Amino acid sequence: MELKHCKLLVTPTSYGKNDPRLKSDLEALVGEVVYNPTGKPLSSAEVAELLPGVDGYIAGLDVIDRTALQAADRLKVIARYGVGVDAVDLEAAKERGIVVTNTPGANSVSVAELTLALMLALCRQLAQAFEATRQGKWPRLSGVSLEGKTVGLLGLGAIGKQVARRLAGWDCRIVAYDPYADADFAARHNVELLPQDDLLAQSDFVSLHLPLLEATRAMVNDAFLAKMKPGAYLINTARGELIDEDALLRALQSGHLRGAALDAFIHEPPDPSHPLLALPQVIATPHLGAQTDGATNAMGWMALNDCLAVLRGETPKYRVV
Rounded Cα distance, 161 and 190, in Å: 11
| Active-site residue flag, 147 | no
Q: Strand, coil or helix: what is 301?
A: helix
Among 287, 312, 314, 319, the active-site one is 287
Query: Does a cis peptide bond (omega within 30 degrees of 0) precede residue 104?
Result: no
CB 285 within 8 A of CB 262: yes
Count how many Cα atoms sit within 13 Å of the Cα of residue 195 in the half-sphere of its side chain. Answer: 4
CB 236 within 8 A of CB 265: no
Q: What is the DSSP letter of 55?
A: S
- Tally of CB atoms within 10 A around 177: 22
Rounded Cα distance, 312 and 125, in Å: 52
Q: What is the DSSP letter of 88?
A: B
CB within 8 A of 48, min separation 6: which ones? 67, 68, 70, 71
Q: Which helix (H) or strand (E) holds 26?
A: helix 21-29
Among 46, 113, 239, 245, the active-site one is 239
Sheet strands (E) in 49-131: 56-59, 77-80, 99-101
CB 127 within 8 A of CB 133: no
| Active-site residue flag, 287 | yes
Among 95, 131, 268, 314, the active-site one is 268
Diameter of the chain measured on Cα atoms: 66
CB within 8 A of 100, min separation 6: which ones? 77, 78, 80, 85, 88, 90, 93, 319, 320, 321
| Active-site residue flag, 267 | no
Positions marked catalytic: 239, 268, 287
